[in-house]
Structure 1
């Protein structure tokens, strides 16, 4: 089944938060250490704009099974053409190539959004995400050793990047 990508609406936020919260206990995809609330994620949601920095739902058979977003990078005008990409997939739908489909979809949207550089901030121990981005031509542009402390374990963060021009 082919996924559909539709702009996220505020009424989708509870499901988006549910998917995001699934990753927190794994300590593999986010530096949040405790579950977040819908209320606390509302300001984050409101930073997305369909005309410049969209957030899309990933849907299978009408069900929201993940999301992909393009976020501002560093908030300064000179970085206008650069965006940070985030992808989160419901734990019951991982391993079904939805991350690949999401990256393929995003690549087709960048020109109309006037974005030519994508960054992904990925923990060094997040092998599935590392592999996904590397397979898609992302390179390590930065390595931040042991910058995250999760449950007494120091973790590396890699900045992966790709240019689309």
Structure 2
């Protein structure tokens, strides 16, 4: 059976489900180096920052439930980095392998280009082969590697910097 889903810009009503997906990743994966669940108040603050049209959040929903999300965020707070952004994508447990990440990254790249980004970066744990492969499929290349910068679940982990430059 084909999974039907809707891709749309996130709304305030989605914060709780976005945060649930993120917190599952915090507790169960090395996709984020956060060690403790994000509170709803912190999730609201994050969402408020993403109300700037330059930093959108998209959700994928199925039957009214958010099953994945992706965002564009500032790469660095200094003004000279304004045309460089960082993407994030998280898929709900049980929904991986449905091409949702592919759909989200495609729209995030299109949005970044339309918004005038010069480059988009993904900081991906080097053991996250599926996310690295996804980024490379969308034209990202390995621009660098931070060696042994994070420790989670007893592992000392590298972070790969994947980059796409828009012409």
Normalization by structure 2: what TM-score?
0.90
- The partner residue of 2:36 within 30, 34, 37 is 34
Matched with 2:55 is 53
Task: Write out per-residue CA displacement over residues 145-164 of structure 1, whole angstroms, 9 at most, x where no aligned residue.
Answer: 11001133211111110112
Matched with 1:129 is 131
Return the alpha-carbon distance in structure 2 between the equivalents of residues 118 and 20 of structure 1.
21
Matched with 2:121 is 119
Return the alpha-carbon distance in structure 2 between the equivalents of residues 111 and 2 of structure 1.
27
Return the alpha-carbon distance in structure 1 between the equivalents of residues 4 and 153 of structure 2.
38
Normalization by structure 1: what TM-score?
0.91
Matches within 5 A, 1:1-165: 1=3, 3-49=5-51, 51-165=53-167
Q: Which runs of no fewer than 5 residues in structure 2 stay unpaired?
A: none
Q: Is the 8 A contact 2:8 2:60 kept in 1?
A: yes
Moved over 4 A (4+): none
Return the alpha-carbon distance in structure 2 between the equivalents of residues 61 and 35 of structure 1.
26
Q: Give how far 1:129 is off.
A: 0.6
More off after superposition, 132-141 vs 83-92: 132-141
Q: Give how far 1:104 is off.
A: 1.5
Return the alpha-carbon distance in structure 2 between the equivalents of residues 133 and 162 of structure 1.
9
Backbone CA RMSD of aligned residues: 1.6
Q: Is the 8 A contact 2:30 2:152 kept in 1?
A: no
SS of 2:41's partner is helix
